[in-house]
Structures are given as C-alpha cells and as structure tokens.
Structure 1
Amino acid sequence: MVNIGNMCSLAALARGCRPAAGADKPCCLCWCCCCSCSWAKCLAVRGSEGGPGKKPPAGPQEPLLNEGDAPPTLEEIQSWGQSFDRLMRSAAGRKVFRDFLRGEYSEENIMFWLACEELKRETDPDAVEEKARFIYEDYISILSPKEVSLDSRVREVVNRNMVEPTPHTFDEAQLQIYTLMHRDSYPRFVNSPLYKALARLSSAEGGAGGAGGAGSAAAAGATAPASAAVSPQ
C-alpha cells in the first residue's frame, strides 16, 4: 500500500505548495498537503492549475476519503491512467476525477452518472419516481444550469421513459455521458498536473519498493490511455 504520508509530502513539493502555518502534520486525506485535513481547502491549490483566474466553485466539497475508507493502493492509482473503466470503478478515483471536472466546469457529467448509479440501486417504486424526477429536472431539463449534453434521439428515449420511471430510465443517457467523459475529459485528466503528480509519485514509490515496471505502465497510460469497454456499471 502507498505510504500516504510520504505521498502527501511529495505531491506537495511537486505542486510547489507548502504546509500551512500552524499545521502539525501533512494532510492524509488529500493530495496537496497545503493545509490541514480538509479536501475543500485543497481545492484552492488544485484549482489554480487550471489557469489564471480559475477558482473552484463555492459550496460544500466531497472529501477524497470518507471515514473508514482505505486509501488507494499504488496499483490502483496507476490503473487510473491505464483505463477509464478502472478509474470510474475506484471510489477515490471518481472523486479525483470529479475534482478535475469541476475545474473544467463540467462536473455535471459525473454527477449525473453517479445519480443514475444511485437510482439503479433503488427498489422502492415511490423513491424511484421521486429520484427520477429530480435527475430529470437537474440534468436533462433544458432549463437547468446543470443540463448534460445529449443528442435528440436519447432525449426522446428519456422523455418516453419518464412516463413510467424505472431504475433504468436513464440508462442510454448515462451511457452517452460516460462515453463523452471517456473520449473528451479522460485524456485531459491523465495529462493534467494533478494526475501527473500522482503518477510520478506512484512511480517513485514503486521504484523504491521494486515495482518500477508498474510505474512505467502508469506513465505510459498518462500519455496514451488504453481503450476500455465503455460501461456505466
């Protein structure tokens, strides 16, 4: 398993940031260690990578790791640059990717995908209908500021399905957004300063632990991500 304490310190140096004044130790729940254990505070540092004038949006932010979650292993971090499917199957990977999309002002794509995943786990018919209505209003309606980009055919399918919502009402729309993130956002993610810092760190840790080959694979994935079967599951 990756030494998270070392990871934070190295990632902080890679980003050019330093521990905040008064911080007793590096944060073990974020990648930049510019502050105490608050993922939201770290957004200010990571948001600056998007370019001058870019700021993270206001409001509550999701922590990278929830209480009780195991930190990502070295192999898991490396796999994020090798396959979009592996990234989306990793809870920590999804949170890092969501933070990247927030900086690109396209966070609604992964939020819609996650909402669809939650809907598919719902079994109560009344809850299904309520959640489906919320998803439609938040991400499908042309009046919503968080509207996702869907073609006319998929929109027609969603509109027909909304007559009697089911846990699979948005399956085609979810797959289209998954494909959009895979083809459009993912290549930029694996070449972003955020992921490159993690990939370099993983390679350094792997080399020290005799896993340099795996680190090289991650570096290769960051340059040319491997194609993966597109699946919203």
Structure 2
Amino acid sequence: MKCSAGRKVFKDFLKCEYSEENILFWLACEDLKRESNPEVVEEKARLIYEDFISILSPKEVSLDSRVREIINNKMVEPTSHTFDEAQLQIYTLMHRDSYPRFVNSQMYRKLAQLPVPNRKGSIA
C-alpha cells in the first residue's frame, strides 16, 4: 500500500474481482487524514460517507454494525479520523482476503515475473 505503482496494480486486480470499492475507500480515508481545513474535512467526510458507507451507495464497503454505528455518531462532527475504524476493517479484509488472491494471481505473477503453476499445481 506504500507504493503507488503497486496500489494501481492491486486496484486493477480488485476491479476484476468487483471489489475495487475497498481500495478506493482506503485511499479516500488516507486523503482525508492529510486534510487540516475543517470545512474541507467535513465536505470530504460527507462524500466518503455517501460514496462508501451509505447503504444506498453502489460502492458500499462491507462493515460490521458496530463500526457503522461509530461512523454514524462521528458524522455529527466529522474529523479527519472519522473513518479510522472502518479503514482498519477494510484494510484487514483486503489483507486477509483479496491480497492473498492477488499474490497468487496470474496478473501478479506476470508482473513479478514468477513462473505460473500449471493446472496440476506444479510450476510450468
């Protein structure tokens, strides 16, 4: 996640898996954390909420009810850290679920120039 080129390739992989909203949410939260102007923070927080938290959003991320409640309470006066718990939950989801599939994907293997296993599991 520290390397912009790596994030782009991972984002492309997530797009193929129809879960691109996870990295987009994570990146939006990182952008929000860099903001110090309270008016801009509030506007960005509202956009993040509408884009990724609202149940009406087509890009809604999968969060548990506890985290949703925390966010709803914090949205009364949003700060640059309003989505920290949600961001951690989505990061953990990507780390445990999407990233291992990415590392085992043909896309990653081609990028890393690793041999691609054949159908029986051995390296071709």
Determine which of 5, 13, 23 is the counterpart of 1:100.
Answer: 13
CA shift, 1:178, in A, is 0.2
Taking the aligned partners of 2:27 and 2:96, their CA distance within structure 1 comes to 18
Encode CA deviations 1:172-209: one digit per residue, 9 max, x unaligned.
Answer: 000000000000100110011111112226x9xxxxxx
Bigger Cα Rg: 1
C-alpha offsets along residues 7-41 of structure 1, whole Å, 9 cap, x if unaligned?
xxxxxxxxxxxxxxxxxxxxxxxxxxxxxxxxxxx
CA distance in structure 1 between the partners assigned to 2:54 and 2:64 by the alignment: 13
Q: Which runs of 5+ in 2 are unaligned?
A: 116-124
1:167 aligns with 2:70: no
Q: Which amino acid aligns with 2:7?
A: R
TM-score, normalised on structure 1? Answer: 0.48
Aligned to 1:198: 111
Residue equivalent to 1:109: 22
More helix by share: 2
1:2-21 equivalences under 5 Å are: none
Cα drift, residue 160 of structure 1: 0.7
Return the letter of the residue paired with 1:180. Answer: L
Task: Please point out which of 150, 160, 179 is paired with 2:63.
Answer: 150
- The residue number in structure 2 matching 1:119 is 32
CA RMSD in angstroms, aligned pairs only: 1.1
Q: After superposition, where does 1:51-90 map in structure 2 within 5 Å?
A: 88-90=1-3
Per-residue Cα deviation, 1:123-145 (whole angstroms, up to 9, x for no partner)? 10100000000000000000000
TM-score w.r.t. length of structure 2: 0.90
Amino acid at match of 1:188: R
**Using the alignment, how far apart are the partners of 2:85 and 2:113 within structure 1?**
37
> Please, which runs of 5 or more residues in structure 1 have no aligned partner?
1-87, 204-233
Letter in structure 2 aligned against 1:104: E
Which residue, 139, 157, 162 being the options, matches 2:52? 139
Deviating runs (4+, > 4 A) in structure 1?
none
The residue number in structure 1 matching 2:121 is none
Give identity over the alignment, percent: 78
Deviation per residue, 1:86-116 (Å, 9 max, x gap): xx11110000000000000000000000000
